[in-house]
Amino acid sequence: MQTSLASRLADIAIVIVLVLLGFVVIYPFINLLALSFNDGNDAARGGIYFFPRKISFSAYNMLFENKKLLKGLGWSVLRVVIGTCTCLFMTGLLSYIISIRTFSGRKFMRILFFMTMYFSGGIIPTYILMNQLHLTNTFQVYWIPGLINAYFMLLMASYISDLPDALFESARIDGAGELRIYWRIVIPVAMPVFAAVSIYAAVGHWNSWFDVILYNFNGKFDTLQVYLRRLLLEVEATQQIRDQQLLMRKFQDLSPLTLRAATTIVVTVPILCVYPFLQKYFIGGITLGSVKG
């Protein structure tokens, strides 16, 4: 009886802790959502937590009135798709190569790429390199430098190394090359780690904005994050200049606080929609039964 009571109390405590942790994670998004739909002048008073006190759509109206927003969204989506797919394929291929036990140079390659996590050339040498490679002011600068990621390589190589050797040996006996083994065996069997890494890569590409400003200074390939950042800076500057009466009359109930909240929601919601589609791959056990004893 005591064991049963102690077990129930432990379950209750665990549920309470998980609920509190879930609240801590979800509340900032709820608060931002409430601020984004609130009147800007009213939001400056504070005291908004879960629901807007005075509903206003000025922040979203100003965001979506910008015609360049859809153009930036298109470049952002294209960057996420191309950048994530190419990074997964190339990093996964490198991970498979350094996981082949018969490959004599795998330890050297692992150490070589591992060192890049701690040492880099810096911003100026990297910019000079991108310029000499004629990648500046091009869309290719978004995904070519990120083809190989050392951290992702370590994660994927650790997973691939645990796969049964019989999978690869049987394929080699049947005459399959290493590239075919990687495409036909490694990628399907290692789908959980590919899915997990794809989320990290996609979020990194989606949130990236500094390299856009640094390498695409002509503005032709500006992404959504750059447009939203520029718009937010313009609104903050406009409110400090009293001569901009037209804009202030049109968006008189708008403030940088509410616009910042709306910008965060617009940037966050699309990438959150990716998680439900990849969640099922996080569960292990996909290799069970791959090799029959």
**Rg of the chain over all Cα atoms, to the nearest angstrom:** 25
DSSP track, 90-130: HHHHHHHHTT-TT-TTHHHHHHHHHHTTT----HHHHHHHH
Domain enclosing residue 112, as ranges? 58-290
Two structure tokens written together for 286: 């996909």
Dihedral of alpha carbons 199, 37, 39, 69, sign: positive
CATH number of the domain bearing residue 172: 1.10.3720.10
Of 8-12, 68-72, 75-79, 171-175, the poorest mean pLDDT is in 68-72
Q: Does 87 map to a domain?
A: yes
Give me the mean pLDDT over the 184-213 stretch: 87
CA angle 166, 282, 195 (to 5 degrees): 80
CB 149 within 8 A of CB 91: yes
pLDDT in tens, 224-282: 888 777 776 766 555 554 444 444 455 555 666 677 777 777 777 777 777 666 666 65
pTM attached to this predicted model: 0.73
Q: Does 237 map to a domain?
A: yes
Two structure tokens written together for 116: 């890049």
Of 25-39, 54-68, 71-85, 184-198, the poorest mean pLDDT is in 54-68
Q: Does 242 map to a domain?
A: yes
pLDDT of residue 89: 93
Tally the domains of the chain. Answer: 1
Question: Looking at per-residue confidence, does 17 or 247 come out higher?
Answer: 17
Quickly state the pLDDT bin for 87 (edges 50, 70, 90): very high
- Flag whether pLDDT at 286 surpasses 60: no
